[in-house]
Amino acid sequence: MENNVANMEELKKRLLDMRTDVLNEVNHNAEFSKEIGTDGVQDIGDVSANTYNRQILLSLNDGQRVILQEIDDALDRIEGGEYGNCIDCGDPIGEKRLVVRPQAKYCIDCKTEIEKGERP
C-alpha cells in the first residue's frame, strides 16, 4: 500500500535536521568525555567520578545510535517509496503521528500491540 503523505519534503527535511542534531550532540559528547579528568592532579574519588561520567556520556551514544538508525531507516523508506506505511501490517501511518515522530515505522495499532507484548 502506498501512503500519500502530503508534506513528504517537510518530513524529509525534519529527519535530516534531526540526524544533524544527533550527530552534533554525539560529537560534542565525545569531545567533552575526552576533557573529563584533564584538569590537574586527581585523587581516587576524582578518578572514579570521572570514569563514571565518561561511561554515562558513552552510554548516551548507544541511544543516539538507535535514533540515528531509526532516522536512516526512515530516509531509506522515503527513497524506496515505502515511507508512511507500517512495516508490520502495511497500512498507512497516520500523518499526525508522522509529524510528531517522523521516524515512526509502525502504525499506532501495531505499535500499541508491540508495547503490550502482544507482538515480537
> What integer pLDDT is reported at residue 23 of this predicted model?
83
Q: What is the chain's pLDDT, residue by residue, as a tens digit (120 residues)?
A: 445 566 889 999 999 999 999 888 877 766 655 555 555 555 566 656 656 555 655 555 778 888 989 999 999 999 999 999 999 999 999 999 999 999 999 999 999 999 998 876
Instruction: Phi first, then psi: give them for residue 45, nearest 5 degrees.
Output: -65, -40
Query: Alpha helices, DSSP H only, in 36-101?
Result: 44-79, 95-100
> What integer pLDDT is reported at residue 17 of this predicted model?
95
Q: Which helix (H) or strand (E) holds 15?
A: helix 8-35
What pTM was estimated for this model as a whole?
0.68
Tell me the C-alpha distance between 118 and 120, whole Å.
Answer: 7
Cell of 113: 500491540
> What integer pLDDT is reported at residue 15 of this predicted model?
95
Tell me the C-alpha distance between 104 and 120, whole Å.
Answer: 17
> What integer pLDDT is reported at residue 1 of this predicted model?
42
> What integer pLDDT is reported at residue 77 of this predicted model?
95
105 contacts: CB under 8 Å, gap ≥ 6: 70, 73, 74, 77, 86, 87, 93
> What integer pLDDT is reported at residue 50 of this predicted model?
57
Domain coordinates in residue numbering, the chain: 8-84
120 contacts: CB under 8 Å, gap ≥ 6: 114
